[in-house]
Amino acid sequence: MFAVVRTGGKQYRVAPEDRITVERLPGEAGDTVSLDVLLVAENGALKAADGMKATAEIVAQNKGEKVIIFKKRRRHNYRRKNGHRQLQTVLRIVSIG
């Protein structure tokens, strides 16, 4: 059994006991969150998820890998280097239903 959930403008394929990394969600480690389910698959059959929710537990709040932004214009002596680390939340899927 698996489901497709939506959070942070992205969709993720999850099953019970999966760990996923999503964009930052409010809460502390140990808190539970519920995610909107778009689609459910059981025994190879796809079904629409009418009002179903997936329950997930927050495992950690951390930062992702560093992303470097580099801008350059040829022959104009223009170079800008910047970077950031995106805030992330690690979730463990507890149940779908």
Mean pLDDT of the chain: 94
| SS3 readout for the chain | CEEEEEECCEEEEECCCCEEEEECCCCCCCCEEEEEEEEEEECCEEEECCCCEEEEEEEEEEEEEEEEEEEEECCCCEEEEEEEEEEEEEEEEEEEC
Model confidence, pTM: 0.81
| Distance, CA of 21 to chain centre | 5
pLDDT category at 51 given cuts 50, 70, 90 is confident
Task: List b or e across 13-26, with b for residues whose CB sees 16 or more CB atoms inside 10 angstroms.
Answer: ebeeebebebeebe
Return the pLDDT at 74. Answer: 96
pLDDT (tens digit per residue) in 73-82:
999 999 999 9
Confidence of residue 48 (pLDDT cuts 50, 70, 90): confident
Q: How confident is the model at residue 97 (pLDDT cuts 50, 70, 90)?
A: confident
Read off the pLDDT of each residue in 4-32 and give the average, rounded to a whole number: 95
